[in-house]
């Protein structure tokens, strides 16, 4: 059994503002007994420019938010899921990268977002993450004392095959840090996260950013911790704050024993049937 906390933070324009938003919540969460702190997507800062997200970025070895969070993890003997920060890439774009930090502040795992948020909600509302971000191409399961954590970021949530691969690769917990838009969040956030938990018999931990993005747009909030049966254990609602829940990975084995869909999938072919069927 482990106590997990999601920090629900607001998008901030600069590294300094992001750090000032994160650390007081992290301190409160540790005082509340959390053994794993989970932060949202672009927790190191986020602004927007029309259809483009413009998070402040830096090289990994120079990133002030990562440096400060590594210090915090070591000082407080706590594991951290750094939902994502913007890392400068060699091609002039950025990487939208998750980090798992151990309780000594070491980087235990990295994951670069695979599926980029390129959507057209209406003639007036579109997002084009691929104009700014280089996609990753590797799924990652991080080993921690709390369990095996399958890593993903935000828009990945709409691609169930990724989560099935993570679960089949040993993930007990599926992490979904996000800066989900309010429009799509209202319609889809809860049902998609619950679906990923149910179909994989896994915990889902989904820390979400909340509130207005500097430059335009709004994040949905509603950080979630969901058990392997699809039951919501905690929901962050709107506004900054912290949610806590107890995670017992033995329940994952129990649920997968009852509904063994991970190991019972069958291969099949697809036929496009003509009408009327001549047979």
Give residue limits of the domains in the chain.
2-258
* pLDDT computed for residue 166 by the predictor: 98
Residue 151: the pLDDT is: 99
Decide the pairing of beta strands 232-235 and 141-144. unpaired
Q: What are the residues facing 85 on neighbouring strands?
A: 97
* Number of neighbours of residue 210 by Cβ within 10 angstroms: 25
DSSP 191: H
User: Among 113, 129, 182, 219, which one carries the catalytic annotation?
Assistant: 113
Give yes or no for a contact between 148 and 139, defined as CB atoms under 8 angstroms apart: no
CATH C-level class of 2-258: alpha beta
**Strand 147-151 versus strand 173-175 pairing type:** parallel
**Given 41, 43, 129, 219, the catalytic residue:** 41
pLDDT value of residue 144? 97
Distance CA 270, CA 7 (A): 44
How confident is the chain (279 residues) per 10-residue block, as mean pLDDT? 97 98 98 98 95 93 98 98 96 96 98 91 78 96 97 98 97 98 96 98 98 96 98 98 97 92 91 77
- 113 labelled catalytic: yes
Q: Is 154 a catalytic residue?
A: yes
According to the model, what pLDDT value does residue 279 have?
62
Cβ(73)–Cβ(35) under 8 Å?
no
């Amino acid at each position: 059994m482990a106590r997990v906390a999601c920090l629900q933070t607001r998008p901030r324009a600069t590294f300094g503002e992001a750090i000032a938003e994160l650390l007081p919540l992290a301190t409160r969460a540790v005082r509340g007994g959390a053994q794993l702190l989970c932060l949202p997507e672009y927790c190191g800062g986020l602004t927007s420019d029309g259809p483009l997200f413009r998070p402040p970025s830096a090289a990994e070895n120079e990133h002030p938010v990562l440096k400060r969070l590594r210090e915090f993890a070591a000082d407080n003997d706590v594991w951290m899921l750094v939902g994502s920060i913007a890392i400068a890439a060699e091609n002039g774009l950025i990487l939208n990268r998750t980090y798992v930090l151990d309780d000594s502040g070491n980087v235990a795992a990295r994951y670069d977002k695979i599926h980029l948020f390129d959507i057209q909600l209406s003639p007036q509302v579109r997002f084009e993450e691929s104009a700014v971000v280089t996609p990753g191409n590797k799924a990652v399961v991080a080993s921690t004392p709390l369990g095996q954590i399958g890593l993903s970021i935000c828009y990945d949530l709409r691609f169930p095959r990724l989560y099935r691969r993570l679960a089949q690769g040993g993930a007990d917990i599926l992490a979904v840090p996000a800066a989900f838009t309010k429009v799509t969040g209202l319609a889809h956030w809860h049902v998609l996260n619950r679906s990923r938990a149910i179909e994989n018999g896994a915990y889902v931990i989904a820390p979400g950013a909340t509130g207005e993005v500097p430059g335009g747009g709004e994040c949905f909030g509603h950080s979630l911790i969901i058990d392997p049966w699809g039951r919501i254990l905690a929901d962050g609602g709107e506004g900054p704050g912290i949610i806590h829940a107890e995670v017992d990975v033995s329940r994952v084995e129990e649920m997968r024993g009852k509904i063994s869909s991970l190991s019972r999938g069958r291969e099949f072919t697809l036929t496009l049937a003509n009408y009327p069927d001549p047979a």
